[in-house]
Amino acid sequence: MNLLLDTHIWLWSLLEPEKLSSPARDALSSDENTLWLSPISTWEVLSLAEKGRLELDTVGQDWVDQALRAAPMREAPLSHEIARESRRLSLPHQDPADRFIAATAKVLGLTLMTADQVLMRCDDLSIFPDPKQR
C-alpha cells in the first residue's frame, strides 16, 4: 500500500509512537508499504516549532533533516493540480496544510494515514485506517 502520512502521524511515529494504533505501527514498519511524506508536513513542523507549539530536541531545520534520514520516505510532489484539488475537496475547514495533504493523497492515488476525524470523513479520500471498518 502507498501511504501518505499526515503530519501528526509522522510526528507520533518519531516522537510518541505509543500514540499510534497497533495497525498503524504495523503498517509503518511493513516492507509491503511505501511511505510518502508531503513537503507541507515539513513546513507544518517547522511552523509549529517556531511558534513554540512543538518542542523538538534540536533546532527545527536540524530535526527535520535528522528525521528524514532516520525514516526515509518518498517525497510527495507539490503541483498545480494538487493546488487546484485542494480547493475542490469537500472539507469543513480551510486549514491549508490539511487541504494540501488531502489533495496530494487524492491526486497521487495514495492512502492517507491519519487520525484526524475531519479528514477521515472526507469521502473523496482513501484513508488508513478505513473509518468505515472500525
Segment 20-79, tens digit of pLDDT:
999 999 999 999 999 999 999 999 999 999 999 998 888 888 999 999 998 889 999 999
Judge whether 99 and 83 are in contact, CB under 8 Å.
Answer: no
The confidence band for 132, taking pLDDT boundaries of 50, 70 and 90, is: low
- When divided into structural domains, the chain yields a total of 1
Distance, CA of 65 to CA of 59 (rounded, Å):
10
Entry pTM: 0.92
Task: Identify the burial level of 92 via C-beta atoms within 10 angstroms of its C-beta, where 0-12 means exposed, 13-18 middle and 19 or more buried.
Answer: exposed
Tell me which DSSP letter residue 131 carries: G
List the domain range (segments joined by +) for residue 112: 2-133
At 118, list the grid cell.
475531519
Nearest to 28 by CA among 63, 68, 7, 1: 1
CATH number at residue 96: 3.40.50.1010
